[in-house]
Amino acid sequence: MLQKVVEEDRQGEAYQAFVGDVNKYSKKFYIESYGCAMNFSDSEVVASILHEEGFGATKNFEEASLILINTCSIRDKAEQTVRNRLHIFKKAKKSNPGMLIGVLGCMAERLKAKLLEEEKLVDLVIGPDAYRTLPGLIEEAEGGQKGVNVLLSRDETYADIAPMRLDSNGVTAFVSIMRGCNNMCTFCVVPFTRGRERSRDAESIINECRDLFERGYKELTLLGQNVDSYHFTPAGGSMADAVTFAQLLERVAVISPDLRVRFSTSHPKDITDDVLFTMARHDNICNNIHLPVQSGNTRMLSLMNRTYTREWYLNKVKRIREIIPDCGLSTDVIVGFCTETEEDHQDTLSLMHQCGFDMAYMYIYSERPGTLAARRYQDDVPDDVKKRRLEEVIAVKIITSGESYRNDVGKTFKVLIEANSKKSTDDWSGRNSQNKMLVFPKGNHNFKIGDYVQVKVNSATSATLMGEIV
């Protein structure tokens, strides 16, 4: 799903805790993030680097001396959205000639020439592994040179940089545990834009998580393109000293029973029984797994280089529910991949019914330049067929999520209060362990954001549970 963070949408209190008095800074930066959670996490690293250089954050891009947009290349729609924003920023620059505009992240390497020279939309282009060089690149751009660094690294994890938390509630936070991806899925640009997998020092992760909890954060999400591949061996250590993802997950969980732990994303071929049993042992590790399937057809999965079959995926889902019976399950689905037939598509629909996903991110296949699929296969499914298949996938998702949510009516869940309800300040909103959103009246209780409450579910839609504090 394309996600977007624009600072105008942030709630003031937590944002101001980071910004402080923005007027005391002679240089101000504005940042927008698009795409996956990893991009949002990266933006917090960038904010920390800029803050050390004397930049203050602003919610108004028109007063910024530096505008940065953290980009996503995973789908064409995301790229077009970013281009539209860059044109808006370029207009703002006409009334502020000293303003610098920069592109970060996954679009940087692939489109640097177009953005810099052909379209003249940006002054800076910085790849995901080059954020430490940002101060020097800014200095170059201020001197009239274009600042460019899109080199990938085999060891950069930003483990020693404490991210500046740009969240809106001071309660939930992302913690990056690894970077890059070794899975060469044929439709995906990530291995080319983010490089090879490398795991972050385990101690730095534990220290960051402990620090966040001590500062009042109640829920942390461990992030990686494929968290189950996490494997860190200390310098000079032996295999016996290696830390697996299951071990890391447990070490974070034992920081405190009041600290909720989530993780994303899991690759179906890599999630292990060790991880599942670790989840089952600790109540504060949330019972929710995001397990992208992409297609329910084995031939399609082979063309996508997903390295598992339909049957293998279904058996993995069965194993998850054997060990964690109440585990919430979400997924990603791509429709209209190269040569996909109606029979292939029907396999996806039937798998979705069988798995009963609570939630799904559903996409039309968008050929990305430079991917294996773009080089090997023809994007031959007509657009109208893709659109119709997506509508059918969405319809099935509404059915399965609706059934799942209605089955929760009458149950009581422990919920972390995260924010006011979007529809009414008289209501709280928060998620349960299964990552389902609950909305419930504040009533006469003295609860606040960051508190845990017990909520009984009275009604449900296909995306929200409504209840009351008990």
Question: Which pLDDT score, from 0 to 100, does residue 114 have?
Answer: 77
Q: Which residue has the higher pLDDT, 6 or 26?
A: 26
CATH number at residue 79: 3.40.50.12160
Give the β-pairing of 198-199 and 178-179: antiparallel
Q: What is the rounded CA–CA span in Å between residue 248 and residue 228?
A: 10
Q: Is residue 355 part of a domain?
A: yes
* Total number of domains constituting the chain: 3
Q: Is the pLDDT of residue 308 over 70?
A: yes
Those residues whose C-beta lies under 8 Å from the C-beta of residue 317, and which sit 6 or more positions away, are: 291, 329, 354, 355
Q: Is residue 238 part of a domain?
A: yes
Average pLDDT over residues 377-398: 98
Q: What is the rounded CA–CA span in Å between residue 467 and residue 421?
A: 13
Q: Is residue 167 part of a domain?
A: no
Average pLDDT over residues 81-99: 90
Question: Which pLDDT score, from 0 to 100, does residue 358 have?
Answer: 97
Q: What is the rounded CA–CA span in Å between residue 4 and residue 82?
A: 10
Q: Which domain holds residue 35?
A: 4-149
From residue 168, alpha-carbon distances to 3, 72, 162, 368 in Å are 15, 22, 18, 33
Question: Which pLDDT score, from 0 to 100, does residue 9 have?
Answer: 34
Q: Is the pLDDT of residue 155 over 50?
A: yes
Q: Which sign does the torsion angle of CA 399, 405, 410, 411 carry?
A: positive
Those residues whose C-beta lies under 8 Å from the C-beta of residue 175, and which sit 6 or more positions away, are: 41, 205, 208, 209, 212, 220, 221, 222, 223
From residue 228, alpha-carbon distances to 246, 251, 272, 399 in Å are 8, 15, 8, 30
Those residues whose C-beta lies under 8 Å from the C-beta of residue 60, and which sit 6 or more positions away, are: 30
Tokens of 71: 């980009």
Q: What is the rounded CA–CA span in Å between residue 193 and residue 106?
A: 5
Q: Are 128 and 179 within 8 A, CB to CB? A: yes
Half-sphere exposure of 290 (CA within 13 A, CB side): 20
Q: Is the pLDDT of residue 16 over 90?
A: no
Maximum average pLDDT range among 16-20, 92-96, 155-159, 243-247: 243-247
The three-class DSSP label of residue 358 is: coil
For residue 104, which of 66, 68, 64, 63 has the smallest C-alpha distance?
68
Same domain? For 225 and 361 the reply is: yes
CA 49 centroid distance within chain: 21
Same domain? For 397 and 421 the reply is: no
Q: What is the rounded CA–CA span in Å between residue 302 and residue 305?
A: 5
Q: What is the rounded CA–CA span in Å between residue 299 and residue 317?
A: 20
Same domain? For 424 and 356 the reply is: no
Q: Output the CA angle 176-129-251, nearest 5 degrees.
A: 20
Q: Is residue 64 part of a domain?
A: yes
Question: Which pLDDT score, from 0 to 100, does residue 417 have?
Answer: 97
Same domain? For 319 and 440 the reply is: no
Question: Which pLDDT score, from 0 to 100, does residue 72 have?
Answer: 81
Question: Which pLDDT score, from 0 to 100, does residue 320 have?
Answer: 98
Among the candidates 405, 427, 450, a domain finishes at 405
Q: Is residue 165 part of a domain?
A: no
Q: What percent of the chain has pLDDT over 90?
A: 77
Question: Which pLDDT score, from 0 to 100, does residue 23 have?
Answer: 61
Average pLDDT over residues 122-128: 93
Question: Which pLDDT score, from 0 to 100, does residue 168 have?
Answer: 60
Q: Containing H/E element for 328?
A: strand 328-335
Same domain? For 212 and 256 the reply is: yes
Question: Which pLDDT score, from 0 to 100, does residue 10 have?
Answer: 32
Q: Is residue 38 part of a domain?
A: yes
Question: Which pLDDT score, from 0 to 100, does residue 96 have?
Answer: 87
For residue 57, which of 15, 90, 101, 91 has the smallest C-alpha distance?
15
CATH number at residue 463: 2.40.50.140
Query: Which pLDDT tens digit goes with each residue over 251-266?
Result: 999 999 999 999 999 9
Among the candidates 356, 378, 405, a domain finishes at 405
Q: Is residue 161 part of a domain?
A: no
User: Lowest mean pLDDT: which of 68-72, 259-263, 370-374?
Assistant: 68-72
The three-class DSSP label of residue 201 is: coil
* DSSP state letter for 114: I
Same domain? For 109 and 198 the reply is: no
Q: What percent of the chain has pLDDT over 70?
A: 94
Query: Which pLDDT tens digit goes with each residue over 166-212?
Result: 756 889 999 999 999 999 999 998 888 889 999 999 999 999 999 99
Same domain? For 318 and 183 the reply is: yes
Question: Which pLDDT score, from 0 to 100, does residue 321 have?
Answer: 97
Same domain? For 110 and 251 the reply is: no
* DSSP state letter for 116: I
User: Lowest mean pLDDT: which of 313-322, 366-375, 451-460?
Assistant: 366-375
Query: Which pLDDT tens digit goes with each residue over 133-148?
Result: 999 999 999 998 989 9
Q: Is the pLDDT of residue 24 over 60?
A: yes
Same domain? For 97 and 205 the reply is: no
Mean pLDDT for all residues in the chain: 91
Q: Are 286 and 262 within 8 A, CB to CB? A: yes
Question: Which pLDDT score, from 0 to 100, does residue 1 have?
Answer: 32
Average pLDDT over residues 375-397: 98
Query: Which pLDDT tens digit goes with each residue over 201-240?
Result: 999 999 999 999 999 999 999 999 999 999 999 887 777 8
Q: Is the pLDDT of residue 69 over 50?
A: yes
Same domain? For 353 and 448 the reply is: no
Burial class (CB in 10 A: 0-12, 13-18, 19+), 153: middle
Average pLDDT over residues 240-246: 93
Q: Containing H/E element for 48?
A: helix 37-52
Among the candidates 383, 405, 427, a domain finishes at 405
Q: Which residue has the higher pLDDT, 112 or 228?
A: 228
CATH number at residue 219: 3.80.30.20
**DSSP alpha helix (H) spans, 286-438:** 298-303, 310-323, 342-355, 372-376, 383-406
Same domain? For 112 and 252 the reply is: no
Q: Is residue 159 part of a domain?
A: no
pLDDT band for position 26 (cuts 50, 70, 90): confident
Question: Which pLDDT score, from 0 to 100, does residue 99 have?
Answer: 94
Q: Report pTM.
A: 0.89
Same domain? For 320 and 222 the reply is: yes
Query: Which pLDDT tens digit goes with each residue over 413-468?
Result: 999 999 999 999 999 999 999 999 999 999 999 999 999 999 999 999 999 999 99
Question: Which pLDDT score, from 0 to 100, does residue 118 have?
Answer: 66
